[in-house]
Each structure stands twice: as structure tokens, then as C-alpha cells.
A and B are shown apart, each in its own frame.
Chain A
Amino acid sequence: MDVLQLIVSGLANGCVYGLIAMGFVLIYKATEAVNFAQGDFMMLGAFICLGLTNPQFMGLPFWVSVPIAIAIMGAFGYALDLVVLRRMFGQSQIAIVILTIALGFVLRFAAGVIWGHEPISLASPIAGRDVRFGGVVLGLDEVMVIAVTGILTLLLYLYFNRTKLGVAMQASSQNQLAAYYMGIPVKRIHSLIWALSGMTAAVAGILFASKGSIDPSIGLLGIKAFAAAVIGGFGSLPGALLGGIIVGLIEPFSGRYMPSGYSQIMPYLLLFLILIFRPHGILAQVHAKKV
């Protein structure tokens, strides 16, 4: 059952990529900006949960610290938009790209100072346990990751398409000026979406930390998540998940069936193929460029 285990672990990794990708797709959908620090948000979420849970820090029960960590990351996202990004309102997207990259460096440094650069593992009750389906043994952590990601994607998708706030978020990205005319508080919507994206990143971080040890440089996973988002279709929530899963599945299989050194570049090669043959991704959001 080698192949099945490869598939499940690939799916679990892919779901984490998908969740990170979803974080910046959320921001992109509502503000047209791209948060290059999303991977570092994920890292920060994981470390906050770790700091609350692990006995050498605060030692809270896991199920108490998870909601607290998610709430802290939500508040962090909101505050970040309020203090830093709101000043950039109306400026070019490239400036925001550069700003968020720099932010990522600062966050990584801060996490390194607080929690150290050594890999630490989260004292999580779902790590290291098995689930048996017939003759197949699967890690509980991997099953949890897949299940939680599926539920979260569905919720976010419904939120964006069915609720008033979600539609307002879409409106504020489709045409800021028109959204203002319709009475949508665009700036507050932006802060809310950063909060939401911070919360998604916290979930991704906690799930990732349940699968193994973490250190401040895991934020670099964000780069793979970018590849995932572009493959799936930038701006589409199901697309982000799909792209994440594709990237997650490609890695273990190319690691197994191809010479060493190729497995880590396969996602990026796929990214280039997609950019050449289907530039807007598998679930494309752009149909024709309107003037």
C-alpha cells in the first residue's frame, strides 16, 4: 500500500499548501494586493499555538490554545492592515508586493528571536497516532489535515458567494470606486479580509505543526503555495486548494520515480508549463480582459 500512503501524505502536504494559497487568494480577491508574507503568517500562527501549548512555554491545553492562536492571528492581520497597509491604499500593487516581502523577513526574524532557530515540535494530541481503514494504516494528523482543509474551503467558498459581507468583499475588489458609491466601507473590508487571511494562516500553521517540527524558515513554504495558487487559478478559492493538492502530490511521486534533485523543482516546472499553456490557471477567473 505504498502508493496509497504516498497519495495520503501528498494530499496532506498539498492541503497545507492549499491553505496558505487560500490565504493570499482571499486577500487578492478582496484587495487586489498579494501578500508575499503569507507563508510567514502561517509560520507565526504555528509558533503562537506552539507558544501557548508547549509545556516549556505557557502549557495550556491544546484545544484551548488553538482558538486563542487563531484569534491572535486574526487580530494581528487586522492590526497590520490598520497600521501598515492602509497607508498604501491606492498605491501601486508592486509597492505592496515589496512591502509584504520585507514584512516576511521581519516576521521571520521576530519568530527566531522569540522561539529560537532550532526545530521544535508542537505538543499536539493528533500527532503520531494512527487510523486504520481496513488494512490501511494512515496517520491521524494527515487525515485531520485533509478533513479540516476540506471543511474550511467549503466554508470560505460559501462565505464569499452567499453572505452579504463576502459579496461586499468581492465588490470592493471588482471596482473600488463603485463599491464606495454603494456604501461599502472599503477600508474596513480590507482590514477584515486581512484578519480572515491571518486566521486561515493560523489554521494552516497549526495543521502543519501537527505533522512535524517547525522552525522560523518554514515560511518559505509560501513560495510553493504561490506556485499552487497560479496552477489552480489565481483568485479562485477551490483553485488554490486544487493547485495545492497537485503540488503536494507531485513532490512525493517525483521524489520516488525520478532522479534526486528533480523533485523540488517539479512544482516550478509545472508552474511554467501552466503559465505557457493555460496562463490563468486550471480554474481560470479571467475570461476576456475588458478595458
Chain B
Amino acid sequence: MRTVFKTSYDADINLFRHPQQMGWYLALFAVALALPFLLSNFALGEATNVLIWAIACMGLMILVGQSGQASLGHAAFLAIGCYANILLQTRLGLPFLITFPLAGLIAGIAGALIAMPMTKLHGIYLAIGTIAVVILVEDFIVIATPLTNGVIGLIAPPIQIFGLVIDRYSTPNLLYYLTLAITLLVVLFYRNLLRSPLGRSFAAIRDSEISAQAMGVNVARTKTVAFGISTGITGLAGALMGHYAGIFNNETFNLIISIQLLLAIVIGGLGSIHGAFFGAAVVAMLPQSIAVARDFLTRMIGGGSIAIPGMETAIFGLILILFILFEPMGIYGRWVKIRTYFELFPFYRKDMFRRQKAYLKTERMR
């Protein structure tokens, strides 16, 4: 086991804990840079999709993993980011470099405004209220048909940055690099947020609202800020998703997408950036692997193809249940456990990662 011996204050705020860790991440970055030369265009598109999902997952992770609030409405903010980005481009003729951050900003402000009345209440209210947000946004897109083109949908123009045309089909590797760059920026932001006073107060609220309040954290305001930052990042992912999908309408961002996002971060591992990436990979790859498995099964059994409607969401649901029951810390948590086992080799104990259980108390008086 490695003991990091800190000799300066900088050691506490360094991005990497020790040089070897930096080496690993640089190697990963090099692989990510080399990916367009290794993969076919289709696989590269899938990799881009995973990165976009990872951004969305990081957005939700800030809320669920860091500040302990649940949102079932993040698809709505994907939609807001996506529509804001495209509409600013097509209606006002602004360039992507301006509309993209604006899309995040609009989604973030919308999120903070929506969350404001609910953050003073118990976390359950936020979960219910955000379900309502998804449904409202879906219907508003239809009501605002003159602007959003309703059920027919909008077509995303190719991204143009200083004359470079970035499109999923003609220049897939440029879209990949753009997404990779944005992902890196979001990761850096996330890492730095976590060690800022704001990030610390998120953790305090997650662990105990009452003790956070006692330490002088304004609980309602911090929750609102957390929701705003979270939806802002999700809005950025939505803007990219719009360009990636090419065409989208009111049903592109429905409740199922919200739930898949939640599934992704739970499976990946709550409260870690790694978890967001693992979860995004699982969710983006799962439909493909289900299709492959189904083809395999039909070949094994022979006979016609098995197509049961709703099976995909049911498999999502089942995986989610199994993870929550048996590995609440997700894929990343499992990896940490395995790593710790080898690091401490004969001394690993089963209960090392056991979580504290709490007795519940109500806030209702009657």
C-alpha cells in the first residue's frame, strides 16, 4: 500500500495524489486522443455518445452523488439545453461557441428557478416536483410549436467553429475531439468544485442537513445552487446530444431518459467522477448488447426473433434493483473494494466498507 507523504500545502490540492496516478491518467488521455485512429466511424460515434452521456451523468452526479438530492427530471434540462442551443443558432444566428455556454447557462438558471420552491422541503418533494418538470417540458414543447416545431422536431445544423465544420457523419473525429475537450473541461470543473467551500457544503448537506445547518451552511440556498450547477452541466450535455442526434422532438427527452441517467450514476457508483463514466458506458452500450444477446439467443433456440416490447426498460430496471440491493456503491465501489483487497492483502475485512445505518425520524407533527 502506498502512503502519500504530504510535504507541502499544494499536495492537498493537487489534481493527482501521486506521480504514478498522474501517469495512469495521462496514459488514459493518450488512448482517448488516439481513439479516432483505432476505431471505425461507427464505433467512434458510440464513443462520442458515451462521452456525451458521461457529461450528463456528471451533471446529475453533482446533485445526487454530492449533495444527496434525487432528481427524476434531468431529461427536461437536456431538452432545455438542446433547444436553447439550436434555437439560438438558427433564430438569432449566433455561433456555436457562444450558444453552447449560453445553453448551459439557460438550463442552469431554469433549474435553479424551478428548484427554488422545493429546496426548503424534504428531498422527496424535489423528486416528485422534477417528475412534473419532465412532463411539463414535454408538453410545453408541443404548445410552443411555432418556436420549437412541436412533434415534427428540429434539425440541428452542423457545428461551425472558425470555419471548421463539425458534423457527426462527415467529420466524426472532429465531433469526438470537441466532445472530449468539453468532457475534460467539465471534469476539471467538477474536481475543483469538490474542494471549494461550495463543494464541501454539498457534502455536508448530503451527510446531514441538520449538522450542515448547525455549521452555518444555508441549506436551501446550497441545494438550489447544487441543482442549478447540475442542470447547467446537463444542459451542456443536452446541447451536444442535439448535435449528435441531428434531429429531435418533444419525445427525444422523456421520463425514460431521466431514469436512465439515474440508473447510469447508480450503477457507475454514486459520488465519484469515475462512476459517471462507468455508468455512461453501461447505459450507452446496453441497448446494443441487449440486441446482440437477443440475436444470439434466437440463433441458439432457432425459430423467429424474440421481440418483447418493454424488455429493454425492464432489464434496465432489474439491473438497477440488483445494484441497489447488492452493490449500492456501484461499479466504481466494487473496483475500490477489489483494489483495497490487494493493497492490504491479508488484512482486508468484509465490513470495511459497511455503511452506517440510520434510524428515521419524521418531520411531520401529526
Contact = CB atoms under 8 A, between A and B. Distances in A.
A291 B213 CA distance: 10
Interface stretch (A53-61, A66-74, A147-155, A258-266): A258-266
Contacts of B180: none
Q: How large is the interface on B (under 10, 10 to 19, 20 to 34, 35 or more residues)?
A: 35 or more
Contacts of B117: 272, 275-276, 279
Contacts of B357: 89-91
B355 interface: yes
A235 B117 CA distance: 19
Nearest to B133: A268
Interface stretch (B88-96, B287-295, B321-329): B321-329
Interface string A96-120: 0111011111101110110001000
Given A98-B70, A271-B132, A109 B123 contact: no
A275 B125 contact: yes
B321 A99 contact: yes
Contacts of B70: 94, 97-98
B125 A230 contact: yes
A290 B213 CA distance: 12
Interface string B96-140: 000000000000000000000110110111011101100110011
Contacts of B314: 105-106, 108-110
B359 A177 contact: yes
A163 interface: no
Summarize B's interface: helix, strand, loop or mixed.
Answer: helix
B124 A234 contact: yes
Interface in B204-229: 210
Given A97-B124, A113-B308, A173-B360, A102 B136 contact: no
Interface in B24-77: 64, 68-70, 72
Given A99-B324, A230-B128, A276-B117, A173 B310 contact: no
Contacts of A106: 314, 317-318, 321
Nearest to A172: B360
B166 interface: no
B123 A93 contact: yes
A102 B132 contact: no
Contacts of B164: none
A223 interface: yes
A279 B121 contact: yes
A9 B176 CA distance: 54
Contacts of A271: 128-129, 132
Contacts of B300: none
A264 B125 contact: no
B286 to A, nearest CB: 14
Contacts of B68: 92, 94
Contact of A90 (B132, B259, B358): B358
B281 interface: no
B311 interface: yes
Contacts of B352: none
Interface in A216-239: 216, 223, 226-227, 230, 234-236
Contact of A261 (B139, B358, B361): B139
Interface stretch (A42-50, A132-140, A196-204, A280-288): A280-288
A285 B325 contact: no
B318 A102 contact: yes
B84 interface: no
Contact of B313 (A105, A177, A268): A105
B325 A112 contact: no
A67 B331 CA distance: 44
Given A93-B124, A97-B127, A174 B361 contact: yes
Contacts of B321: 84, 99, 102-103, 106
A31 B117 CA distance: 25
A87 interface: yes
Given A97-B124, A275-B118, A112 B135 contact: no
B365 interface: yes
A289 B143 CA distance: 40
A94 B259 CA distance: 13
Nearest to B262: A98
Nearest to A177: B359
Contacts of B190: none
B316 interface: yes
B362 interface: yes
B241 interface: no
Interface in A174-189: 174-177, 180
Nearest to B325: A87
**Residue of B140, B309, B310 ringed by the most chain A CB atoms within 10 A:** B310
Interface string B337-366: 000000000000000000101111111111
Interface of A: 28-29, 31-32, 34, 36, 84, 87-95, 97-99, 101-106, 108-110, 112-113, 117, 173-177, 180, 216, 223, 226-227, 230, 234-236, 261-262, 264-265, 268-269, 271-272, 275-276, 279-280, 285-291
Given A98-B324, A287-B365, 16 more contacts: A90-B360, A98-B266, A99-B325, A102-B324, A105-B310, A105-B313, A106-B317, A109-B313, A226-B131, A230-B125, A261-B139, A261-B142, A265-B139, A275-B121, A279-B118, A285-B365
Closest 7 CB pairs of A and B: A90-B357, A109-B314, A105-B317, A102-B320, A102-B317, A285-B364, A268-B132
10 contacts: A87-B325, A89-B357, A90-B358, A99-B325, A105-B316, A109-B313, A109-B317, A117-B310, A226-B131, A276-B117
